[in-house]
Structure 1
Amino acid sequence: MTTTYLELINRGARHYPDRTAIVYESQSFTFKEVDWLSSQLAHALCAKGVSQHDRIALLLNNGPYSVPLDFACVKAGLNRVPLNARLSVQEHTRMLKETGVQHIVFGADLADHALALKQELPEVICYGLGSKIAGGDDLLTTAESQPTSAPEITVKDDDVILTLFTSGTTGTLKAAQHTQASYAGVCKNVLMNLINVKHDDAMLHAASLIHASGVFVLPFWLRGARTVIMEAFDPTSFLQLITKERITAINMVPTMLQMLLEHPDFEKTDVSSLQQVIYGASPMPRSVIEKAMSLWGRERFWQYYGQTECPLTITVLRPEDHEGELLGSCGKPCVDVELRLIDEAGNDVPHGSPGEIAVRSPAMMKGYYNADQLNAEMFTEDGWLRTRDVAVMDERGFLHMKDRTSDMIITGGYNVYPREVEDALMEHPAVIECSVVGTRDDKWVEAVTAAVAVKPGQKITEAELINFVGEHLASYKKPRKVVFVDSVPKTAVGKLNRKALRDMLKN
């Protein structure tokens, strides 16, 4: 048996019982307290009839119970399905139906959202953390009377412990499955390639813990270091916490870094403790990274490229490589990742030619849930995972991203896919046709931009359309710009021509 996620949780708890593990606002928890609470929550879930290998949805914003609840699911042998709280009830309903989830744990601040899901799916049982709705209980209350030792379960390397929805690079909603072994592989990947966590280090988390930010929790747990959690990103509080908590590492998306640079306290904040500014998720505007390095020093900046299907780091751009044309690259392949550039047939492309990135890694997902055809498309016969990203490898071994095999938009670190925005726009009775692309934006890197043709005799404003989409999709998916046109660009066979639209919007 290889090392499992469960074993790594247990090791950290054994080695550092009295050290501070989690800090959230005025609350702090030792390793022992997190370990005990996670065990009690695991027993509480079992007491509610949730069985090992069941899928359980977690509807939680960042908070004091984020880590204990994740650990509880692992200790109970559950397959957790995190729900991004920014998504709509309709989007979550679809996710729950696709995965057959029967139980949801929700944060007290999301009780109304949970109730709306319950109305859509009456058979689902909802358990609150400090709250309850009809048909469910407060899991924290149940946990109070439970044992502080973990449930006795037997786990296997390939037990699925995380099913994480991602649109990936195809725009089709799919659920990547990670196992006991692959998640342990993710932890090792981070420690080997990105960050050498020390005993007294502390990482500040402002981005959602269900995504890349949460991957850093286990490496810090294993080294007896602190995880400092913010409910959400706020530039003022973020800068203050760097100083107050003597933060040594932060994980940013480009938009967050840009907002910090624009803050009046950026240059005068004491960042003497800060050793690493780690960033990824979307391309970093050159002007932003150059200004940040000039003020905070090049030696602090680390870039990673990875995917939900193979987290966290496929390649890493180290501080000493943050210069010249290399600022446009995503670094060199990681030591525990095999990487090839291939053509559509799966053959290696000639050196210096563009090819699709294919990888093999211990951190690689098991596959997508209930998607045999998609898995057959994404995995080669000899086990390489296609990323659908196209890149070129230079003579020094640095990977340069060239294009995507889809029209995915990355705005503020979030993936947005044109089709779902177009579908929402087409629901409006005044819209006859539309096309959505990403356009360059100094703050968000890319702005969701819609070209809309209106039916004859109809009138609709830009603001009305943006608000209409916001009623159907998450806020970050709304168009930031709407351009009214007589007709949208199409190919010769009548398909939407997004390249032509992007070219048109540049002029």
Structure 2
Amino acid sequence: MTTSYLDLINRGAQHHRDRTAIVFGDARLTFTEVDELSSQLAHALGSLGANRGSTVALLMNNGLYSVPMDFACVKGGINRVPINSRLSLSEHVRMLMDTHCQTLVFAPDLIERATALQEQIPGLVTHGLGVSMEGGVDLLDEASRHSKKCPKVGVQPTDYAVTLFTSGTTGTLKAAQHTQASYAAVCQNIFQNFIDIAPDDSMLHAASLIHASGVFVLPFWLRGARTVIMPGFDPLAYLQLIQKEKITSVNMVPTMLQMLLDHPSFHGADLSSLRHIIYGASPMPRPVIEKAISLLGQHRFWQYFGQTEFPLAIAALRPEDHVPELLGACGRPSIDVEIRLVDEAGNDVPDGKEGEIAVRGPSMMAGYFNAPALNQEMFFDDGWLRTRDVGIFDERGFLHLKDRTSDMIISGGYNVYPREVEDVLLAHPAVAECAVVGLKDPKWVEVVTAVVVLKPGQVSTESELINFVAAQVASYKKPQKVIFVSALPKTLIGKINRRVLREELAAS
């Protein structure tokens, strides 16, 4: 029998009833309270027309209802689409339109964006959590009138459970779909390849729960451990919560770790409870991980290499492998994942040679939503998935990333795609040509940098162009630097040569 996401939710609820499951600020929910509330929310959604097979968008920052709302969708057989609140209105509109969402659930602090989306998308129904607006209901109030028993909707392992947007390697938004079975397999992947979780453990979540951090909720739920949620990352509050809640596990992007190490309160903090410091959303700068190991000890650090299409750990670097010669490695392949290195035609490359990483395993996505051409491009006939990352195995079997097959920039744990930013810049009346690249940065890993050629006779400033971009895309995508040049390096066929440009900028 294939285990489903719903099976695992039900098992955790049955085994750990009165234990604390969720902590958010001063509020605490037991396993039974989360289980019953999520069932009520599932019934409420069903009464409002969101039934098995429906697609529902969730517009929420980290909060008390993040986990109950996710579980409600699973119980109702709903394909949930979490959308990052930091994205622009136009990006949100496209995400909802692309996935055919007709229902949006939003948190009170995002009512303005929900209102704007309702205005932009005809027929969109918007339900608030603790608030209501025209055409929708207060979903918490509606839920209070429904049964606390899990609805019987006939959920199947092959049902879509969550659709996660990623720009992958192309810069174009893509919707990766995970099923009830594949998301359960992600949980199993963590148990098999990552940390051991005990009932008295707790994990602190400051990064968005719709990203990699949220993947750990279900494994902790199954073991009766606590999920401690912050609305966002603040180094001092983070340190204080580790001590107050005796946190045993954290998941951090490099920028968060560096900010923590640099904070004045770090050296006085009691972090003795902390056993697992997990990272992997973006490459960890070597100076940061070396400093962290010297201050916190090698025995605490775990790295994962994964993708939205294949969470969480395609490969893992365990604490004992955090030695100088392996700090740049992804780790060894996970025991439940098959990895091949292939050429562009999909043929295996010779041993010791670089190749594109192709993967296969139970936790990979079912495919991209409504994208048959892209699915055909990314999947081989025998079920292997291309990652568009180039890697090489060393003689001990550790996987090392060599390059990306795109020019994607990773800044502060977020993916930024140059073409999207360039398209905005090129709409400015003073810009003739531009190229956006990532330059190495000790804090953000990479900073978004725009290199601009102005039209003859035109003038502009760095601040003007940054503000121009910021008005049209998410804040983290805007350039942090603008460099004005007279010409951009080109290839023989006239394309902008990003590699040469990056080398020139690094040298200067």
Shorter-normalised TM range: over 0.9
User: Shift in Å at residue 78 of structure 1?
Assistant: 0.2
TM-score normalised according to structure 1 size: 0.99
Most deviating of 491-500 and 144-153: 491-500
Partner letter of residue 96 of structure 1?
A: L
Instruction: Name the SS for the 1:196 alignment partner.
Output: coil
The one-letter code of the counterpart of 2:96 is: L
Match of 1:172 in 2: 172
Equivalent residue for 2:406?
Answer: 406
* Partner residue in 2 for 1:456: 456
Report deviation, 1:237.
0.3
Amino acid at match of 1:28: R
> For 1:107-122, what aligned pairs fall within 5 Å after superposition?
107-122=107-122
Q: Which residue of 2 aligns with 1:235?
A: 235
Residue 53 of structure 1 aligns with which residue? 53
The aligned residue for residue 386 of structure 2 is: 386
Q: Does 1:193 align with 2:193?
A: yes
**Which amino acid in the other structure matches residue 335 of structure 1?**
I
CA deviations on 1:37-93 (whole Å, 9 max, x unpaired) are 001110111111112111110000000000000000000000001100110001011
CA–CA separation in structure 2 for the residues paired with 1:298 and 1:131:
46
Contact 1:409 1:415 in 2 (8 A): yes
The aligned counterpart of 1:467 is: 467
Counterpart residue type for residue 464 of structure 1: E
What amino acid is the match of 1:68?
P
Q: Which residue of structure 2 lines up, in the alignment, with residue 157 of structure 1?
A: 157
Give 1:31 shift: 0.2
Q: Measure the CA separation in 1 of the matches of 2:336 and 2:288.
A: 30
Q: Following TM superposition, by how much is the alpha carbon of 1:457 offset from its aligned partner in structure 2, in angstroms?
A: 2.3
Instruction: Describe the SS at the equivalent of 2:158.
Output: coil
Cα separation, 1, equivalents of 2:149 and 2:457: 69
Residues of 1 paired with 2:212 and 2:20: CA distance? Answer: 22
The number of equivalent residue pairs is 507
State the SS of the aligned residue for 1:161: strand
Deviations 1:282-334, CA, capped at 9 Å, x for gaps: 11011100111111111000111000000000000011111122011110000
Q: Which residue of 2 aligns with 1:333?
A: 333
Deviates more, 1:231-240 or 1:345-354: 345-354
1:263 and 2:263 are equivalent in the alignment: yes
Amino acid at match of 2:356: E
Q: Residue in 1 aligned with 2:213?
A: 213
Matched residue, 1:141: 141
Query: 1:170, 1:405 within 8 Å by CA — same for their partners in 2?
Result: no
AA of the residue aligned to 1:411: S
Contact 2:52–2:155 (Cα < 8 Å) also in 1: no
1:47 maps to a residue whose letter is: S
Following superposition of structure 1 onto structure 2, how do residues 228-307 of structure 1 map, counting pairs within 5 Å?
Answer: 228-307=228-307
SS in 1 for 2:80: strand
Q: CA deviation at 1:485?
A: 1.2
Q: What is the TM-score of this pair, normalised by structure 2?
A: 0.99
Match of 1:316 in 2: 316
Superposed CA RMSD in Å reads 0.8
**Alignment map for 1:335-354 (pairs within 5 Å):** 335-354=335-354
Q: Which amino acid aligns with 2:78?
A: L
Distance (whole Å) between structure 1 residues aligned to residue 130 and residue 472 of structure 2: 29
The answer to whether the 8 A contact 1:389-1:404 is kept is yes
Return 61-70 or 445-454, whichever deviates more: 445-454
Segment of structure 1 superposing worse, 423-432 or 369-378: 423-432
Q: CA deviation at 1:469?
A: 0.8
Partner AA of 1:240 in structure 2:
Q
Q: Distance in 2 between matches of 1:71 and 1:134?
A: 26
**Residue identity opposite 2:466 in structure 1:** I
Query: Is the partner of 2:327 in helix, strand or coil?
Result: helix
Instruction: Give the 3-state SS of the residue equivalent to 1:216 in structure 2.
Output: helix
Shift of 1:458: 2.0
Query: Residues of 2 paired with 1:419 and 1:209: CA distance?
Result: 27
In structure 2, C-alpha distance between the alignment counterparts of 1:393 and 1:259, rounded to whole Å: 32
What SS is found at the alignment partner of 1:328? coil
**Pairs within 5 Å for 1:73-152:** 73-152=73-152
Alpha-carbon distance, 1:122 to partner: 2.9
Q: Deviations over 1:440-473 (max 9, x none)?
A: 1111001111011112222211011111111111
Structure 1 consecutive aligned stretches of length 4 or more whose deviation exceeds 3 Å: none
Q: Aligned equivalents of 1:488 and 1:67: distance in 2?
A: 48
Distance in 2, matches of 1:4 and 1:374, equals: 27
- Alignment pair present for 1:37 and 2:37: yes
Indicate the larger mover: 493-502 or 306-315.
493-502
Q: Secondary structure at the match of 1:282?
A: coil
Deviates more, 1:423-432 or 1:281-290: 423-432
- On the 8 A contact 1:129/1:138 being kept in 2, the answer is yes
Partner deviation per Cα, 1:341-377 (whole Å, 9 max, x = no partner): 1111211111110011111111010001111111111
C-alpha displacement of 1:506: 1.2
Q: How far apart, CA to CA, are the structure 2 residues paired with 1:461 and 1:36?
A: 56
Q: Give the CA deviation at 1:188.
A: 0.3
Q: Deviations over 1:369-410 (max 9, x none)?
A: 111111111111111111000011001000111000000000
Q: Partners of 2:424 and 2:144 in 1: how far apart?
A: 45
What letter matches 2:415 in structure 1?
N
Distance in structure 2 (CA, Å) of the matches to 1:345 and 1:458: 46
Deviations 1:190-214 (A, max 9, x none): 1111111101000000000001000
- Indicate conservation of the 8 Å contact 1:62/1:231, yes or no: yes
Opposite residue 34 of structure 2, the aligned amino acid is V
Once the two structures are superposed, residues 231-262 of structure 1 have per-residue CA deviations (whole angstroms, 9 ceiling, x without a partner) of 00100100000000000000001110011011
**What residue in structure 2 maps to residue 5 of structure 1?**
5
